[in-house]
Amino acid sequence: MSAEKKEYLLVDENGQGKPDKPWIFRTYAGHTNAKASNELYRKNLSKGQTGLSIAFDLPTQCGYSSDHEVSRPEIGKVGVPINSLEDFRILFDQIPIEEMNTSMTINGTSMWLLSLYVALAEERGVPLEKLNGTTQNDLIKEYLARGTYIYPPKESMKIIVDMYEYSLHKIPKWNPSNICSYHLQEAGATPVQELSFALATAIAVLDAIKERNCFTAEEFEQCVGRISFFVNAGIRFVEEMCKMRAFTEMWQEITTERYAVKNAKYRVFRYGVQVNSLGLTEEQPENNAWRILIESLGVTLSRNARCRALQLPAWNEALSLPRPWDQQWSLRLQQVLAYETDLLEYPDIFEGSKVIESKVKALKEEAKLEIQKIIDMGGALVAIENGYMKSQLVKSQTERLSKINSNELVIVGKNKWTDGIKSPLMTDSDGGIFKVDPKSAEQTLNVLGEAKSRRDVAVAKKSLEDLKKAAKEGKNLMPFSIACAKALVTTGEWADALREVYGEYNPPTGVDGQKLFLSDDKVSTVRGKVEAFTKANGHRPKIVVGKPGLDGHSNGAEMIAVSAKHSGFDVIYSGIRLSPEEIVQSAVEENANVIGLSILSGSHKEIVKQLFDELAHYKAKIPVVIGGIIPESDFDELKKMGIREIFTPKDYDLMSIMEKIIDIVSVEPALV
Amino acid sequence: MIDTKESLSQLVSDAIIGEKYPIAKIISKIETEKNLEFRESLFHELSIQNPDAKEGLTIGITGTPGAGKSSLLGELCKLFLEFAPNKKMAIVAIDPSSNVSGGSILGDRTRVTLPRRDPRLYFRSQPSQLELGGLNPYTFHVIRFLRRIFDYVFVETVGIGQNEISVSLISDLSFLVMQPLGGDQVQFMKSGIMEVPEAFIINKCDEESLANSSYYMLESTLEFIKDILPDQSLPPIFKTSVTKRKGIEELLRYILQYQKRKDKNTETLTQLTQWVRNEYGRWGISIWEELESSKWNQAVKRNPLGGIQKLKYEEEERKIVSLIQTKIK
């Protein structure tokens, strides 16, 4: 048969049908401690997973060892804790790292984690050229959406460039950074914002590399080729597919026009995807299974914009951490899609579609204007530091929430068709959710303590001094970090050494000047109550919105801050990673009428206790409400501790939340 | 409830020893509308419990948005704790944000990183309740109160024009904060602001040459308007950088060694005049001028030695209110 007749099928050079290779199947995983995570990885790999995606716990991400006081409530909760090389030895036990494609979702401490990986490879005698994978190491995500940054943007960029320089020469198959627009969509970004902010960030990275001038022209091309992206796929899957096609085309244009990359291989837009978690609902969580499937289609249907790697959330992620079974179910979905369907047999099935082409064109045009705006401003770093990008995201998010509140945006099971039979998936003895055993932290601490006692203190100390000196002198920090890794330096020690030199970053919150687009009866009811309060007390109600702990998911706190202002409150919101001491200090000094906490990391019980202890220190009786991913089974205990009201993702109606809060504040006897 | 005499005296004695929650509660009460009665009892109680209290120095810090006032204050706080181990300071930050709902987001606290649990520092935000910056209607009384407890009271406002720099009228020492080469000085000169502050700060001097050129530009602008400066000498100019941690120590030393205090009678009178004008307009002022005590106070003001007796703000306010009420009848 001639090749022409099979135009609709993918063929090899001999005209034989040859489907595409599937993307890499990953599950974003890690919890409890290195040992438990190692077991989980080995199980997942045996089930047909083809790559590793490591989730680190918050202390590891923020550069604290497990024995630091802020780490305590968070050890092993949202990922695996890594304190030193010893934990990596355990984590990768019996896993051939030379055969793996390992993705590490880590930013502020990415250089440190890569150094540990290199040290492990050298210890095992694995040639570094064989190491394959990605350290996320992204700026926009950190500063705008996820909040696990440590150092100021400029210094973080310097670290990224160091890693490019080192990797290209020593670990050529490693992606030292990954432009991660994923979290932007989680923070409310529109497709145009996702396109423009991600590409502007990639431009900032490449410009910084160019400025260092450490590569030959050919090496620089290779370096462009190493840039990879991590993208979100949302529920509006046709638009999302167009977004991916726009990404691909725009990257081609940028690499050709701005960087004159000649080799076509290095101009390819390479990306991995995790489908959107934001749209997953706590209400009728079984519906999330369908959402995840539909969202996957956006990034797999279109051959010209098909992802290189995919990881799917679990149906119950809006409730808690997924159980191994839930992860397995998500993996099976990918396997069905890739191996049972005929998806991979065809060339691009949307080529020539007028709808798709014109939508892609429109997205590209808007994104180009936005990129130009950012470049005119001085580039992505400036747009992060001056708060521009953050305020744009908070704006999109408030618009999105306003639409959900006014039912303009339909979410099945949440604001429409809310009555239903309870899911039998939730009736298992564990209630359908996963909880980390609080005792497991001890194991991590034991490994840490042992590693510290076993190491040569003088060598560890010297390697840290060398690292600081190198940082002050502006040298490439990779070799010094690897030396630290080998000397069994801890995560906290490494990060502290650089904190000393670079300082810690405190970014704009993005909530100044934001407005909600809500003006219905509910708003007037709430405003009426606020006015009544003001009249009775002579001043407006004051709320301190607090985001304690290391969890940087600040969207909820930002929305509450904006909604409270919309309702007529005076709002104090100071951003993320505050200690309970700081939050209480604000509330006391400002004589706040209420404290609203936002906690998503699962550490609510520990943090709430610390907060009430601190209130007792000032003899202050200020009502406290809390919002976040909080399982119902914890409600009683929290209320016993003194929490007045608990809000979960079910409570999406901002004005209902505000009404409950103003009611609480209004019944309090006037404090003055 | 602090409307009863006993608990007010408890609250005041706790506030005097520096307990933050009582201080915070008293401020909320001062910030409450129609608080004349409360103020009278408060200041009366304060003078009974702490008759020999020194008055803290008030430092006004104003400047355009983005000049980095809050971050600068944050650094000042940290150094203050180190350099003035036996002194206490309070900050009142007035935030211009407000919207249709009347609500506000008070963001200044975000930009000042404060040490935790330090009893020597107290930070309080205030919405300006106006579209632009400037003073909150209650700022003056909050400062009067804080001065009785703290050695230094910093007031931060956003200054854009003449109306917004009234902070200098109620401060002993006021600073105008600018950005290097911001072109601010020309604008400020036009609006007559250059004569008002006691000192200038060019902040964000992260780069030496830019800092120096801005310094010389400001200096020459000031020389140009020297004739109208009261004591004919140029006010000091500080160059500061928070990121480079430069110049802040000099600034703090200047503040700590500052001796000259404004006459509190004049200050009280200024504030009272402003209040009367706000409440009753020029008509109110004219009525007030008929008031005997006012003439007496004018005389005190003209007396170079200052007043024989401090002007009692609340007493004056009460007199005006009753006078005006009789006029209305």
Mean pLDDT of the residues in chain B:
82
Subunit contact A509:B109, Cβ cutoff 8 A: no
- Report the amino acid identity of residue B64: T
Q: Is the pLDDT score of A508 beyond 80?
A: no
**Which residues of chain A have a CB within 8 Å of the CB of B127?**
540, 570
Query: Looking at B52-131, which runs of residues are DSSP E strands?
Result: 57-63, 89-95, 104-105, 121-127
Sheet holding B199-202, edge to edge: B121-127, B89-95, B152-158, B57-63, B173-178, B199-202, B237-239
Q: Of B205, B223, B257, which residue constitutes the final position of a domain?
A: B257
**CATH class belonging to A136-420:** alpha beta
Asked if residue B3 belongs to a domain, the reply is: no
Domain boundary (B53, B74, B89) is at B53
Range among A367-371, A421-425, B177-181, B269-273 rated most confident: A367-371
Q: In this model, does residue A669 exceed pLDDT 60?
A: no
Active-site annotation holder among A87, A138, A466, A551? A551
| pLDDT score of B111 more than 80 | no
Q: Which tokens belong to A525? A: 């009811």
Residue B1 lies in a domain: no
Per-residue model confidence (pLDDT) at position A98: 94
Q: In terms of pLDDT, which residue wins out, B108 or A304?
A: A304
Q: Domains of chain A: which residue ranges?
A: 136-420, 521-666
Based on the fold, state whether residues B62 and B192 are members of the same structural domain. yes
To which H or E segment does residue B173 belong? Answer: strand B173-178
| A182 carries an active-site annotation | yes
Query: Model confidence at A48, in pLDDT bands (50, 70, 90)?
Result: confident
CB B278 within 8 A of CB B7: no
Q: Positive or negative, the Cα torsion across A239, A241, A243, A249?
A: negative
User: Is B2 among the domain residues?
Assistant: no
The first and second tokens of residue A357, run together, are 């082409």
Name which of A219, A258, A525 is nearest A371 in CA terms.
A258
B161 belongs to a structural domain: yes
Rounded CA separation B266/B262 (Å): 8
A3 pLDDT more than 50? no
Question: Is the pLDDT at B299 greater than 70, yes or no?
Answer: no
In chain A, what residues touch B27 (CB-CB under 8 Å)? 591
Closest by CA to A73, choosing from A37, A321, A64, is A64
Determine the Cα–Cα distance for residues A33 and B275; give it in Å rounded to an integer: 64
Contact A590 B117 (CB under 8 A): no
Predicted TM-score (pTM) of the model is 0.80
Give mean pLDDT, residues A164-191: 91
- Of these residues, A31, A183, A414, A604, which one is catalytic? A183
The number of residues making up chain A comes to 672
CATH 3.40.50.280 assigned to A521-666:
yes
Model confidence over A61-109: pLDDT tens digits?
Answer: 999 999 987 888 889 988 999 999 999 999 999 999 999 999 999 999 9
Which residues in chain B are closer than 8 Å to A540, comparing Cβ atoms? 102-103, 127
Interface predicted TM-score of the whole assembly (ipTM), two decimals: 0.87
Would B109 be classed as within a structural domain?
yes
Per-residue confidence (pLDDT) for residue B152, from 0 to 100? 96
Question: Cβ separation of B107 and A575 shorter than 8 Å?
Answer: no
Q: Residue A36 above 70 pLDDT?
A: yes
- Mean pLDDT over residues B124-147, rounded? 79
CA distances from A531 to A77, A526, B126, B175 (A): 42, 9, 18, 37
Examine the domain organization and report whether B251 and B227 are in the same domain: yes
Cβ separation A581–B117 shorter than 8 A:
yes
Instruction: Kindly state the DSSP code that residue A384 receives in the 8-state scheme.
Output: H
| DSSP 8-state assignment for residue A25 | E
pLDDT at A671 over 50: no
pLDDT score of B97:
65
B12 and B110 housed in the same domain: no
Among candidate residues A308, A302, A313, A167, the one with its CA nearest the CA of residue A241: A302
DSSP string, A267-292: G--EEEEEE-STT--SSSTTHHHHHH
Question: What integer pLDDT is reported at residue B5 of this predicted model?
Answer: 57
Residue, of B237 and B128, whose pLDDT is higher: B237
- Predicted confidence at residue B100, as pLDDT, reads 66
Residue with tokens 């408030």: A398
Interatomic CA distance for residues A564 and A658, integer angstroms: 7
The yes-or-no verdict on residue A450 having pLDDT over 80 is yes
Question: For residue A417, is it left (φ>0), alpha (ψ between -120 and 50) or beta?
Answer: left
Which has the higher per-residue pLDDT, A532 or B300? A532
pLDDT > 90: percent of chain B:
32
pLDDT given for residue A518 in this prediction: 75
CB atoms within 10 A of CB A242: 27
Distances (CA, A) of B59 to A524, A670, B175, B239: 41, 32, 8, 18
H or E element, residue A373: helix A354-377
For residue A670, pLDDT beyond 70: no
Q: Which domain holds residue B140?
A: 55-257
Residue pair A577/A549 in contact by the 8 Å Cβ criterion:
yes
Q: What's the average model confidence in pLDDT over B92-98?
A: 79
Instruction: Return the minimum-mean-pLDDT range out of A151-160, A431-440, B14-23.
Output: A431-440
More confident residue, A310 or B313: A310
pLDDT score at A672: 42
Please report, as a single letter, which amino acid is at residue A20. Answer: D
Encoded tokens for A558: 């930002």
Catalytic residue among A182, A259, A502, A652: A182
* Angstroms from A472 CA to nearest CA on chain B: 14
For residue A248, the distance in angstroms to the closest alpha carbon of chain B comes to 38
Where do runs of H (alpha helix) occur along chain B? Answer: 5-16, 20-30, 36-49, 69-83, 108-111, 139-147, 184-190, 208-224, 248-257, 264-290, 292-302, 313-328
pLDDT above 90 coverage of chain A, percent: 64
What mean pLDDT is predicted for residues A256-271? 95
Average pLDDT of chain A to the nearest whole number: 90
pLDDT for A1 equals 45
Q: CA of B309, closest CA in chain A: separation in Å?
A: 32
Q: pLDDT digit string (tens) for A613-632?
A: 999 999 999 999 999 988 88
Q: What is the mean pLDDT of the segment spanning B117-132?
A: 80
Mean pLDDT, range A19-41, rounded to an integer: 90
* Dihedral angle of Cα A363, A366, A368, A372, to the nearest 10 degrees: -160
Annotation marks residue A660 as catalytic: no
Of B20, B103, B117, the CB nearest to A564: B103
> What number is the average pLDDT over the span B271-293?
78
| Residue where one domain finishes, among candidates B257, B281, B310 | B257
Contact list, B20 vs chain A (CB under 8 Å) = 585, 588-589, 618
What are all long-range contacts of B196-199, with beta carbons under 8 Å and residues at least 24 apart?
Answer: B196/B165, B196/B168, B197/B60, B197/B62, B197/B165, B197/B168, B197/B235, B198/B168, B198/B173, B198/B174, B198/B235, B199/B173, B199/B174, B199/B175, B199/B235, B199/B236, B199/B237, B199/B238, B199/B254
Residue B80 and residue B178 in one domain: yes
Least confident span in A158-162, A473-477, A511-515, A610-614 = A511-515
Domain shared by B99 and B135, yes or no: yes
Predicted pLDDT of residue B1: 41
A107-143 residue pLDDT tens: 999 999 999 999 999 999 999 999 999 999 987 778 8
pLDDT at A525: 94
Q: How far away is chain A from the Cα of B279, in angstroms, using its nearest Cα?
A: 18
Looking at the predicted structure, is the pLDDT value of residue B286 above 50?
A: yes
Provide the token pair at B16.
């005097």
pLDDT above 70: residue B327:
yes
Chain B residue with minimal CA distance to A511? B105
> Running DSSP on this structure, what letter comes out for residue A460?
H
Confidence of residue B308 (pLDDT cuts 50, 70, 90): very low
> Do residues A338 and A344 touch, judged by C-beta distance below 8 A?
yes
Could you give phi then psi for residue B214, rounded to 5 degrees? -65, -40
Determine the residue among B110, B132, B138, B242 to mutate to test chain A binding: the one whose Cβ has the most chain A Cβ atoms within 10 Å.
Answer: B110
Residues A239 and A191: beta-carbon distance below 8 Å: yes
Q: Which of A472, A348, A504 is nearest to A10 (CA)?
A: A348
- Is there a catalytic annotation at residue A547? yes
pLDDT of A431 reads 76
Please indicate whether residue B41 or residue B130 has the higher confidence score (pLDDT). B41
In chain A, % of residues over pLDDT 70:
98
| pLDDT score for A124 | 97
The Cβ of residue A225 has, within 10 Å, a number of other Cβ atoms equal to 18
Q: How many domains does chain B have?
A: 3
Please tell me which of the candidates B99, B102, B109 has its beta carbon nearest to residue A574.
B109
Question: Two tokens at A189?
Answer: 């970004």
Span B43-58, mean pLDDT? 89
> A594-599 and B89-95 as β-strands: parallel, antiparallel, unpaired?
unpaired
For residues A501-521, average pLDDT: 76
pLDDT computed for residue B272 by the predictor: 82
Same domain, B47 and B83: no
Nearest of A560, A564, A582, A577 to residue A628 by alpha carbon: A560
For residue A586, list chain B residues with Cβ-Cβ distance below 8 A.
109
Check whether residue B187 and residue B234 sit in a common domain: yes
Using the predicted structure, report yes or no on whether residue B301 has a pLDDT greater than 80. Answer: no
Q: Indicate if A183 belongs to the active site.
A: yes
* Angstrom distance (rounded) from CA A515 to CA A511: 9
User: Can you tell me the distance from the alpha carbon of A652 to that of A86, in angstroms, rounded to the nearest whole number?
Assistant: 43
Distances (CA, A) of B269 to A521, A639, B18, B145: 47, 52, 29, 17
Sheet containing A28-29, strands listed edge to edge, beginning at the edge strand earlier in sequence: A28-29, A52-55, A102-105, A133-135, A174-175
Task: Give the H/E segment covering residue B155.
Answer: strand B152-158
In which band, very low, low, confident or very high, does the pLDDT at A466 lie, cut at 50, 70 and 90? very high
In angstroms, what separates the C-alpha of A607 from chain B's closest C-alpha?
17
What count of Cα atoms within 13 Å lies in the side-chain half-sphere of residue B123?
28
> Inter-chain contact A672–B26, Cβ cutoff 8 Å?
yes
Same domain, B32 and B72: no
* Distance from the A70 Cα atom to the nearest Cα atom in chain B, whole angstroms: 15
Crossing angle of helices A478-486 and A491-502, in 10° steps, is 150
The tokens of A280 are what?
A: 């997953």
Chain B residues within an 8 Å CB radius of A537? 32
Residues B238 and B252 in one domain: yes
Q: Would you state the pLDDT for residue B132?
A: 45
Cβ contact (<8 Å) for A565 and B1? no
Check CB contact under 8 Å for A591 and B127.
Answer: no
Contact residues for B280 (Cβ-Cβ < 8 A; gap 6+)? B287, B324
Residue of A640, A633, A568, A564 lying closest to A598 (CA atoms): A564
pLDDT of B133 > 60? The answer is: no
B316 and B192 within one domain: no
- Residue from the list B23, B26, B104 with its beta carbon closest to the beta carbon of A571: B104
Which residues in B lie closer than 8 A to residue A562 (C-beta atoms)? 105
Tokens of A360: 């892609």
Residue A617 annotated as catalytic: no
Model confidence at A2: pLDDT above 50: no
Residue B21 sits in the same domain as residue B67: no
Average pLDDT rounded to a whole number, residues B300-307:
55
Closest partner residue to A513 (CB to CB) among B2, B32, B97 is B97
Query: Per-residue pLDDT for B304 more than 60?
Result: no
User: pLDDT digit string (tens) for A404-416?
Assistant: 888 899 999 988 8
The average pLDDT across A4-14 equals 76
Which chain A residue has its CA at the smallest distance from B245's CA? A503
What the block records as the tokens of A322 is 């997924």
Q: Terminus-to-terminus CA distance in chain B, angstroms? A: 35
Query: Does pLDDT of A59 surpass 90?
Result: yes
Look at A352 and B286; give whichever has higher pLDDT: A352
Taking the C-alpha atoms of residue B311 and residue B293, their distance in angstroms, rounded to an integer, is 10
Are residues B97 and A579, on separate chains, in Cβ contact within 8 Å?
no
CA–CA separation, A511 and B95 (whole Å): 14
Helix H, strand E, coil C: the string for A622-663 is: CCEEEEECCCHHHHHHHHHHCEEEEECCCCCCHHHHHHHHHH
Is the pLDDT score of B6 beyond 90?
no
Distance CA B115, CA B77 (A): 9
- Distance CA(A409)–CA(A402), nearest Å, equals 9
Domain at B170, CATH number: 3.40.50.300
